[in-house]
Amino acid sequence: MELLANLALGFDVALGWQNLLFCLVGVLLGTLIGVLPGLGPVATVAMLLPITFYLPPIGALIMLAGIYYGAQYGGSTTAILVNLPGESSSVVTCLDGYQMARQGRAGAALATAALGSFFAGSVATVVIVLFSPPLTEFAKKFGAAEYFSLMALGLIAAVVLAHGSVLKAVSMIFLGLLLGLVGTDVNTGLQRFTFGIPELADGIGFVPVAMGLFGIAEILANVEKKEGRSVMAVITRLWPTREDFRQATPAVLRGTAIGSILGVLPGGGALLSAFAAYTFEKKIAKDPSRFGKGAIEGVAAPESANNAGAQTSFIPLLTLGIPPNAVMALMVGAMTIHGIIPGPQVMTQRPDLFWGMIASMWIGNLMLVIINLPLIGIWVKLLKVPYRLLFPTILLICAIGVYTLNNSVFEVGLTALFGILGYAFYKFGCEPAPLLLGFILGPLMEENLRRAMVLSRGDPLVFFQRPLSLTMLLMAAALLVIIILPAVRKKREEAFQE
Amino acid sequence: MIRINQDVAAALLFIAFGAVGLYVAWSYPVGTAVRMGPGYVPRLLCWAMIGLGVLVGLKGLGSSGVRVERWAWFPLILLSLAVLAFAGLIERAGLVAATLALVLIGARAGHEFKFAEVGVLAVFLAIGSVLLFKTGLGLPMVGIPGIY
């Protein structure tokens, strides 16, 4: 019954007209930017972060969450209509969604994606409500050693489950950890890696890092591509047929289940969920050859899965304070700026914030369905704006966003620098997401490592003597060993190929 | 001759970061494992960076790998310049001038550049950003120095 009381509190907060408005604005802005080709949720959230800093903490987090689903949703619209995935998790949606659109079933594909996402979002909200309290209780037993081991496990799992080279991803994490150390050392006051620049005394801001690596670098990568637009599909009929419903419904259910589970895992979230759901549908289909030619399951399953995964990835953030993916790393940054330290204490100390945010997730999903199906015409018009006019506009939003954050010219320059670095990473085949995770976790890990070592009087065995800590380290080691085994590695590459 | 593929290039970058970090962190007190000084973790991480860089590099040398695509230097420099111009102008010459500079320089990076079109966009965005950020959100910015 306590659950119901909590939920009531949550809806009380989320249904306040102010928070409803923040949620609506977030969802709309997220969709608006997410629809633009080449801008994924990470870039969108990074770009719009500065706007939310002027809001009260609850409003800001509600709006950011809205931006996240909105961006996710906008990405699928682009994927279906013009075959351009706005973000990596929509790559799968392109396969069958665009084919459906070419067959004149664009409306059905969009409606399936929207309704599937809404269902998945609703289920994922329930999952969060059910699993957060026990996990929070569990997390309260954690000491410094456990936290350090948990973060190590999280980072390693994030690498294993992400795609691309494991070795390079580990290097990117370490680079992120290193960049996270820049600034004044909390224990001694020593200025580390600041090169005598006073602006770096408080460390490198995470907004310039995220905006540079994800926003500017993505513009750079897009600008050099030739502007070749696929023909835009025409929407004739929006509502799916009875036959569509019959085929899509079980796929939505399976996608939701897969997404809800995979979203919680470190490195999971939307992308992995969408890929896994699509592969699964193809495996169990009676006639796998239909996939890639406009099978409605190929839209329904991954779209539900990515939304469920996007939402359940809030669980580790809200209960343990550990961000499982890059978007959640941005959320940690946003919370910290508002003076909220993510972790198990949030639920007890700020129940209004915790439950309000969860309730608003469901409301946000509802808004997406209600608003976006009628608004689809506007998003389509937006897609017709040529990229040569869009990218200077996006660049301007990034620049103004970073500047207004602290009125700091230095941070704008830093953003440009990280943009160049991000472009280098893109050219060298290095994923920037692990770097951002390491960057956010770096200072926390160092602090917990040092504290654990002091508490144990310098006995490094402390990490192995405490059962919880040991379990997590063993899991991390097992993951590393597994991934190095050639057989598993081949399988993993295959899985990401599909 | 060493082929520069993605892995080798990334390795050089990682090793460079580790080496520079180590050089800078050399003077930081390391302390002991019990009382770690502020230099303990940085040094650990820098050595790890160098080690990982070497591993990535060896892997890159051992296989043909993916070649590093040509860099699009022109857009890279222009877009960076555009952002830097914004940074340099925003406090000295105001939001309008900074916006105009960013859009006019940045738009040159695209495949097509029509001055009239970009000019209209720049003016539109300059007015829009002043209205939104200064008039609307009331942020402490200067639109045009001395006027608004």
For A193, the closest chain B residue by CA position comes to: B24
Q: Whose CA is closest to B141, among B105, B100, B98, B103?
A: B98
The pLDDT, as a whole number, for residue B1 is 44
How much is the pTM?
Answer: 0.82
Q: Please spell the DSSP secondary structure of A105-117, one letter per residue.
A: IHHHHHHHHHHHH
Query: Which band of pLDDT confidence, cut at 50, 70 and 90, is reported for residue A232?
Result: low
Say which residues have a Cβ less than 8 Å from residue A64's Cβ, sequence separation at least 6.
A26, A45, A48, A49, A52, A330, A331, A334
Residues of chain B with C-beta less than 8 angstroms from the C-beta of A446:
41
- Say whether pLDDT at A440 is over 80: yes
Cβ contact A166:A160 at 8 Å: yes
Q: What is the pLDDT of residues A72-90, one digit of tens each?
A: 888 888 888 877 666 666 7
CA–CA dist B89, B98 (Å, integer): 5
What distance in Å separates residue A401's CA from the closest CA in chain B? 10
What distance in Å separates residue B122's CA from the closest CA in chain A? 9
Q: Do B76 and A424 touch (CB under 8 A)?
A: no
> In the numeric block, which tokens belong to residue A86?
């706005």
Residues of chain A with C-beta less than 8 angstroms from the C-beta of B48:
174
Q: Do A454 and B34 touch (CB under 8 A)?
A: yes
- Say whether pLDDT at A226 is over 70: no
Reduced to 3 states, what is the DSSP secondary structure of residue B131? helix
Reduced to 3 states, what is the DSSP secondary structure of residue A203? coil
Percent of chain B with pLDDT over 70: 97
Tokens 């969802």, residue located? A27
DSSP state of A292: T
Strand ranges (E), A224-380: none
Q: Which residues pair with A184 in a beta bridge?
A: A191
For B74, the closest chain A residue by CA position comes to: A224
DSSP state of B114: -
DSSP state of B5: B
Q: If you average pLDDT over residues B100-122, what whole number do you get?
A: 86
Q: Touching check for A460 and chain B: CB below 8 Å?
A: yes
Q: Touching check for A461 and chain B: CB below 8 Å?
A: no
Of A167, A187, A391, which has the smallest distance from its Cβ to B59's Cβ? A167
The pLDDT, as a whole number, for residue B139 is 76
Nearest-10 crossing angle of helices A57-82, A41-52: 150
Interface test with B, best of A171, A190, A194, A450 (most B CBs within 10 A): A171
CA–CA dist A86, A91 (Å, integer): 8
Q: Which of A235-249, B64-78, B87-101 has the highest mean pLDDT?
A: B87-101
Cβ contact B84:B110 at 8 Å: no
Of A170, A219, A428, which has the smallest distance from its Cβ to B6's Cβ? A428
Reduced to 3 states, what is the DSSP secondary structure of residue A192? strand
Percent of chain A with pLDDT over 70: 91
CA–CA dist A351, A423 (Å, integer): 41
For residue B38, which amino acid is it?
P
Q: Touching check for A38 and chain B: CB below 8 Å?
A: no
Q: Do B24 and A193 touch (CB under 8 A)?
A: yes
For residue A160, which amino acid is it?
V
Say which residues have a Cβ less than 8 Å from residue A406's Cβ, sequence separation at least 6.
A205
Q: Do A181 and B42 touch (CB under 8 A)?
A: yes
Residues of chain B with C-beta less than 8 angstroms from the C-beta of A192:
25, 28, 38, 42
Q: Touching check for A470 and chain B: CB below 8 Å?
A: no
> In the numeric block, which tokens belong to residue A174?
């370490």
What distance in Å separates residue A348's CA from the closest CA in chain B? 33
Backbone angles phi, psi at A183, to 5 degrees: 125, -170
Residues of chain B with C-beta less than 8 angstroms from the C-beta of A461:
none
Least trusted range by pLDDT, from A273-277, A489-493, B60-64: A489-493
Cβ contact A315:A357 at 8 Å: no
The pLDDT, as a whole number, for residue A237 is 67
Q: Whose CA is closest to A260, among A125, A112, A454?
A: A125
The pLDDT, as a whole number, for residue A14 is 84
Percent of chain A with pLDDT over 90: 7
Of B35, B59, B125, which has the smallest distance from its Cβ to A454's Cβ? B35
Q: Do A167 and B107 touch (CB under 8 A)?
A: no
Angstrom distances, CA of residue B81 to CA of A210, A263, B8, B102, B104: 19, 39, 28, 8, 11
> In the numeric block, which tokens belong to residue A183?
């600034």
Backbone angles phi, psi at B60, to 5 degrees: -65, -40
- Say whether pLDDT at A203 is over 90: no
What ipTM goes with this model?
0.91
- Beta-carbon contacts below 8 Å between A and B: 185
Interface test with A, best of B80, B91, B130, B142 (most A CBs within 10 A): B80
Q: What is the dihedral of CA A19, A22, A26, A29, to 10 degrees?
A: 160
DSSP state of B102: H
Tokens 């993510």, residue located? A342
- Say whether pLDDT at A418 is over 90: yes
CA–CA dist A371, B73 (Å, integer): 42
- Say whether pLDDT at A235 is over 70: no
Tokens 């997401």, residue located? A433
Q: Do B121 and A392 touch (CB under 8 A)?
A: yes
- Mean pLDDT of all residues belonging to chain B: 85
- Helix runs in A140-190, H state only: 144-161, 166-180
What distance in Å separates residue A174's CA from the closest CA in chain B? 6
Cα B36 to chain centroid, rounded: 32
Cα A6 to chain centroid, rounded: 26
Q: Which of residues 476-495 of A touch B (CB under 8 A)?
A: none
Least trusted range by pLDDT, from A252-256, A486-490, B29-33: A486-490
Angstrom distances, CA of residue A347 to CA of A5, A121, A141, A148, A357: 14, 21, 15, 21, 11
The pLDDT, as a whole number, for residue A188 is 80
Residues of chain B with C-beta less than 8 angstroms from the C-beta of A385:
none
Q: What is the pLDDT of residues A126-164, one digit of tens each?
A: 898 888 888 888 887 888 888 888 888 888 877 776 666
- Say whether pLDDT at B26 is over 90: no
Pairwise pLDDT comparison (A492 vs A180), residue with the higher score: A180
Query: Which band of pLDDT confidence, cut at 50, 70 and 90, is reported for residue A473?
Result: confident
The pLDDT, as a whole number, for residue B51 is 93
Q: What is the pLDDT of residues A46-79, one digit of tens each?
A: 888 888 888 888 899 999 989 988 888 888 888 8
